[in-house]
Every structure is written in C-alpha cells, then in structure tokens.
Structure 1
C-alpha cells in the first residue's frame, strides 16, 4: 500500500488482491497528471465536475477515489479493478454509495458532461468504449483521455477524432500525456463493430472450423493466438463425469473444446474480464448443443470455488499487468488450482518456455511433467497428490 498525495487530498491505495510481495503501485504518473488537470493549471481553469462525470478504465480506483465527492460513474472491464476501487474507497473512509460502478458490458449512461478515459492497452477496447459512449456526449462535454506516452499512439488519437471529434495532445510530463477531445455533434454516431466472430483453423482438434465470439479487449480478439492454438492440439482426453475449469478463459475456446470432447464434462469458465466471460458464454452456447453443463463467472481466479471440488484445471496465465511484467497472477492461479483440485486432479498449463513455470509447479505440487513443447511454448501437467 502507498500514499498518493495530490491537491485533492492524500489517499492510501493498493492493488487488488493485496500481495505483500508486490511492489507495483496502485497509480502512476498518468493518474497524477489527469488529477492536476482537473484541479486547474496556470494555463487552464478547473474542470467543472458538478454534472454527470464518467471515468472509463480507472485501473485501481485512484481517479475514482480522488473525485468521489462528485459522485462519478466508473466503467471498467476489470473485476479486479472494480474490487480495488471498492477496497480503496473503504480504506480511505469514502462511502461506496458516493460512486456508481458499471462494467464494460452494462448499458452505458444516457448523458455525460465530463468523460475521463484512461487509455487501455487494447485499441479495440478503446474503440468499443468510445462508440458505446458517444451517443451520451454532447457539444459541451469535456473529454480528456490520459495514458503513459508508450500507451498513446497515432491510432489512439485517430479513434478519438473519428468517433468523438477534433483531438489534440498535451506535452509529456513524467512520461505521461493527456488527450483533449472536442465533441463534434455533426459526426455520425455509428454502432460499435464489436464483438468480432471468426472461424477457428482446421488444425485445433475438436473445435476445428467452429465459430468463436470475441468482445473487444480480450487477448488476441481478432485471431487465435499461437499459444492457445498449440494448447488446443494437446488438451487431455477424458471420459465420464468431470468438473473442469477454464481458468482465465478469454473467449472460452479451451473450455468449449473440453465440453465437446466429453459431453459429460461440466465446465466452469472464469475470468476477471467482463468482456472475456461474455465472449466465452457466446462461444460455448453457439457450439455446445448437448445437455452439458456450464457456468460463467467473472471473478478473482478460483476464489470462492470449494476446496477439492475440481477434476481438471486448464490455464494459460497472463504474465503482464498493464505495462508491467509480473508472475503474480500466475502464482495465484497455480496456488488456487492446487487448492480446488481433488486428489489426483490435474492442472494443465500452457506458457512461454522462458517463463519457467515448471520450477514453480514442482515446488507447489511436488511434480511437473512436460506434455508437449516447441521452440516457443510448453504444455505442463501437475497432479494434486
């Protein structure tokens, strides 16, 4: 936990879930830059926050906590980001009722007077968000985007320009930059092109040629990523009743493959992204027409899943948290898998070879087997003894 000190006040902030080994802060220079801009600078007046304020993509709640007295509406695709916001509001004595929380899949607000956009890593997610929010923007709406310099590209600015109106950027401060966009009421408000659907390639086993639905913002939304492609070729085969978890499910193609391979499989799709779980459910519903059972959960990994209740966990863990490279998420996923697996249950993991997941799995499970590998990826199996 660290203290963010601004002209709005001082706030104790932490990421979620808290990890004493984690050194990453719950805010960065982009958050600080935007908060200074809202308060006013030598060259600009303070932004009037008395109207309907919407914050999009606040990563850990630093922006929402800072301007909570103005009752902002926060829109996020991240369950962890939402939980971080709630936790940070509580630790700073701010009533959660002072803010409104929506997911990226919820119906957007009807009016926006101030729109604050934390530029996401995914250009597709930004495109979808701007399309969905544009009808609520009017000529006098203040629109400010923010991000680190490495996150803002010409393509980013073109999206603001094409969907909202004329756009310019600020000077960089501490490697952060602001985006100022003036709404143009004359622009045609077109629907979002998302979600995107495509057919899987012919070399991925039981799901070959099947359609996949991808909402904006999920990993490799425009094509099947090569890691998942390799994983699909080497999934375990099983018969009889099984409870399987597609952990970090993305568009759900791995869990769908498990259900198609064994009609007696009950699959639990889990992801911290609201858009990912929506994608997984759409993919599964379109492809699995048997009486197989499935559950779709937006949440914090395997928390809430009973101990010893699962036969198989399939996992392609992320190794980035926004711009930072970290194995924190993988560590928690592996630990959660060991807890929820029954004795003899298996965790199957796909990962880049250089990440060395086998070391952590052997330490945690006492065993680890290489199922398949190529020059870039490795499929590992660990058994709960």
Structure 2
C-alpha cells in the first residue's frame, strides 16, 4: 500500500482550488530519505516545516514511531493533528516547539526549506547546537523557492552538503556533520525609538513594514479599553510592534497580542521585553482570537497577512475580520490596514459592522469598523 496523499486536508487553514496540502517536494524528500528511515528506531525521526502532515504522516505510514514534528503555523499543526486522527496515525506523531528537545537524539531530519534565509539559519543553528553528530538532514523544496544561498547557509552549519538531482521541479539538499554553536537569538533593531526583536522568518524582520506604519500613524490617541479585563488587542501581531507601541505610549494600559506563527509569538515576546513592557503585554499563539471570549474587547488593531503557507491568497483576512467581529463588544472598533486593490470594505461591513475609511493611498487603506 502507498500513503494516501490525496486524503490530506489543510483545514483549519484556508481550503480553496489551487491551495494544496502536499506537493512534489514532499514526495522527493520521502524518496531520498527512505533507505535511512527504514533503519530508524522509535524517536529517531524529526520533521521540520511539514505544512499539513505529508512528511510526518507518510513516514508514520511507513512504520516510523515517536516522530517529533515542528510547524511554525498553528493551523498547520492542527491540520496535522486532524489528518493524523483520520488516518489513525495520531499515536505516532507529536508536535513540539523548535528547540533542543525537538532534535536531541534525531538520526534523520526531514526539513521543508523555508523561503526565508534567516529562518533557515535559525533552524540550522538549532540542529547544529543540539542534534547528534551522526544526524542526517534532508532539506527539500520547490526549485522556484530555492537559491544557492541556501546551500551556503547549510554549509556554514554542517561539514558536508550534497545536492540531489532535481525531480518534478523539486530538489533535496543533504547535510551532515553539525558544527557546534550557540542557539539562535533574535535580531535586534530599532524603529522610531522602539526596540524591535525578530527571529528568522518573522514578517518584515526588525523593520516596520509600510502597512503597519500607516496603521500606526492613524490609530486613535487613546482607544477605548486598555484595561486588564478589556485589553487592547493586536491581532496577527507579527513582531509585536503595534502592541509595544501602544504599551509604551500608555504606561497604564494592558495589551493582548496574538499570532498563529510560533516565530511571530517568540519575536513579539522579545520585543515586549526589550521595551520593558512585557508585564503589560500578553502574547498568545492562537488561530485568530479563538481563545478570547465573545464580546470581550473594545479595540482591535489588525494588519492581516496575505498568504497561507507559501500561497498568496485574499481568503485569510476575512477569517480574521469575522473573529474580530465576534470578539468585539457592541460599539467596539476594529482598526485595519489592507492592500487597497483587495477592496475589503464590503467584507468588513458584513463581518464586523459599519466601516469608514480613515486613510488611503495607492497601496494601502486604513479603515475603522464599528461592531453593531
């Protein structure tokens, strides 16, 4: 029997034509690692960057047990759990944070190459710091997302690097001989007097992207709420710049920041600490605002992402609008910035309430939507 790739689904992430749960790079990684994986004992396989479970679950289907998996995306992690349950493989995979416990004792690591070189650098640093000397890392991706600089990054952390032949527009890099070094630390920067910290792969890094800058420029001087029971919310917080700015400007305020990315959450916590406001910013890894009660907030700020995994899509933002609408109490406000050509105002009107334009240029629009 062969693994039923077509049974994999993306939910709770966006599902739509053209958005896939696996691709040729997953198949190539499994094929290139098959012989070595057949020799593994329990707990000796680690998977990093497994979008929706194709790598971990196919390996489990082949007989591997005690598989440790790390996914940056919480929706990907939940999709893996749902797919594992449906395929009756849930007892063979375990999701874990990126760190020492994930990679210690691993003989084989299957890695989907991230697009960000900084993210790859952080992953390689964790492997070099904590994985055994005999670990073999199979790192694969689609050719259109790979670059020779990825080879250079891996060579800086491993003694040898082999490159496989391409197949179906995919390729695998095989790294061995980890060079011991420190675990990764967040990059440090400063934006308009605000300290910013970013682990590799965080959106915009230590910079302030132009959409968030436009949102910050137009936020109200003192939004409603900001108390412990009614904190200001930074939804899809990224590195936590909006949350930190609110907390720094208002020393009596409480802020709740949330993102589904583990990289973003770690970065936002580091940003809060660097600005001395970690005691007033709660940073939570969550899919939208699922951990928040309905009608529990007066103010939400949002710069929604425009991608799901590696795919560009306009279907992520409406999910966030809808959950923001649920969490806002009547009269509460969602302040959002979005790409002007996307025309999100009708969706905001439908999912939150009456919406007015605050600012607009050729690239971005800032709106405020009031909960009915």
Listed as ranges, the matches of 1:81-96 within 5 Å are 81-94=76-89, 96=90
**C-alpha distance in 1, partners of 2:134/2:220?**
57
Please say if 1:58 is aligned against 2:58.
no
Contact 1:239 1:264 in 2 (8 A): no
Instruction: Measure the CA separation in 2 of the matches of 1:312 and 1:240.
Output: 6
Query: Which among 235, 254, 258 is matched to residue 270 of structure 1?
Result: 258
Cα RMSD, aligned residues only: 2.4
Residue 199 (structure 1) aligned to one of 178, 190, 201: 190
Q: Rate the CA distance shift 1:106–1:269 in 2: closer, same or farther, 3 A.
A: farther
User: SS of the residue aligned with 1:265?
Assistant: coil
Structure 2 match to 1:374 = 361
Please give the alpha-carbon distance, in whole angstroms, between the structure 1 residues aligned to 2:184 and 2:13. Answer: 36
Question: Cα deviations across residues 133-190 of structure 1 (Å, max 9, x unaligned)?
Answer: 1134455432211101112101111111111132232232222111122x236x4x23
1:323-369 Cα shifts (integer Å, max 9, x gaps): 31112221110000111101111111112212222232133334221
User: Which fold has the larger relative contact order, with Cα–Cα distance below 8 Å and residues 6 or more apart in sequence?
Assistant: 2
Higher mean alpha-carbon deviation, 268-277 vs 104-113, is at: 104-113
Matched residues, number: 364
Provide the C-alpha distance between the structure 2 equivalents of 1:22 and 1:105, rounded to a whole number of angstroms. 35
**DSSP 3-state at the match of 1:378:** strand
Q: Where do residues 275-290 of structure 1 align in structure 2 (5 Å cutoff)?
A: 275-289=263-277
The whole-number CA distance in structure 2 between the counterparts of 1:365 and 1:79 is: 24
Aligned ranges 1:308-347 → 2 under 5 Å: 308-347=295-334
2:81 match: secondary structure:
helix
SS in 2 for 1:379: strand
Query: Residue in 2 aligned with 1:155?
Result: 149
Structure 2 unaligned blocks of 5 or more: none
Alignment gaps of 5+ in structure 1: 1-5, 201-207
Residue 254 of structure 1 aligns with which residue? 242
How far the C-alpha of 1:246 sits from its partner, in A, is: 0.5
When residues 110 and 361 of structure 1 are mapped into structure 2, their CA distance, relative to the original with a 3 A threshold, is same
**Per-residue deviation at 1:193?**
5.0
Matched, 1:104 2:98: yes
Match of residue 137 from structure 2? 143
> C-alpha distance in 2, partners of 1:174/1:92?
27
How far is 1:8 from its partner?
A: 4.1
Which stretch of the first structure deviates more once superposed, 105-114 or 372-381? 105-114
Distance 1:238 1:273, change over 3 A: same
More divergent stretch after superposition (122-131 vs 257-266): 257-266
TM-score where L is the length of structure 2: 0.90
User: Does the residue aligned with 1:233 lie in a helix, a strand or coil?
Assistant: helix
Given the superposition, is the C-alpha separation of residues 30 and 20 from structure 1 closer, same or farther in structure 2, using an over 3 Å criterion? Answer: closer
Aligned to 1:175: 169
User: Which residue, 222, 226, 229 being the options, matches 2:213?
Assistant: 229
Structure 1 residues 288 and 235, CA gap change in structure 2 (3 angstroms): farther
Provide the secondary structure at the position in 1 that maps to 2:91: helix
CA distance in 2, matches of 1:262, 1:134: 42
